[in-house]
Amino acid sequence: MADPAVVNARLALAHPDARCALDHADAFQLLVATVLSAQTTDERVNTVTPEVFGRWPDAAALATADLAALEDVLRPLGFFRAKARSLVGLAQGLVRDHDGEVPPDLDALVALPGVGRKTANVVLGNAFGISGITVDTHVGRLARRLGWTTQTDPVRAEADIAALVPPSEWVMLCHRLIFHGRRVCHARRPACGECVLADVCPSAFAV
């Protein structure tokens, strides 16, 4: 197993620009953007969210959005009909249960339509500074390659990673793993020869 402290320190040097790649100004915008990011790239989400937030700037506006109009804006993302329904339902839940505000609480977030644990942790960590581990495809893949977990279930993988890393490092470690997964440790052809973790990674040159 690769030492998590060593991995985190090296990735911090390798990816000093690691951050949440979804453009947002507040918790509401981040929540919406994260829901939209399912099965598409952050870059593509960032191309449509300016119009989304320009036309529906808060939960109250989005809760009463014309579904066809919202679908048209979301069309470039794929699955636009389902995503439009999710956003309207999410906004209605915020208005109904939280006075239109995004709650800084995991259980309250996952109770909202279209919000899973991964999305909730993204919002908690990046909008509220509340430690959480976001196990997306990159984090899960790298955690398995580093020997931190054998789990493919995100919740179980999250628990395994949490046991190895101090909570104060959870959010930034996830950002660094995501950046490393996008840039170096690719799913099909990881660039082990260019990887700063090759000498400590148990999967180096074997995947």
Q: What are the DSSP calls for 79-91, one per residue?
A: SHHHHHHHHHHHH
What DSSP state is assigned to residue 101? P
Q: Is 83 assigned a catalytic role? A: no
Q: Is 118 assigned a catalytic role? A: yes
3-state secondary structure of 140: helix
Q: Which of 23, 42, 136, 160 is catalytic?
A: 136
Classify each residue of 168-192 as buried b or exposed e, where b means 16 or more C-beta atoms within 10 Å of its C-beta.
ebbbbbbbbbbbbbeebbeeeebeb
Q: Compute the residue count for the chain.
A: 207
Q: Which of 107, 118, 160, 199 is catalytic?
A: 118
Q: Write out the catalytic residue numbers.
A: 118, 136
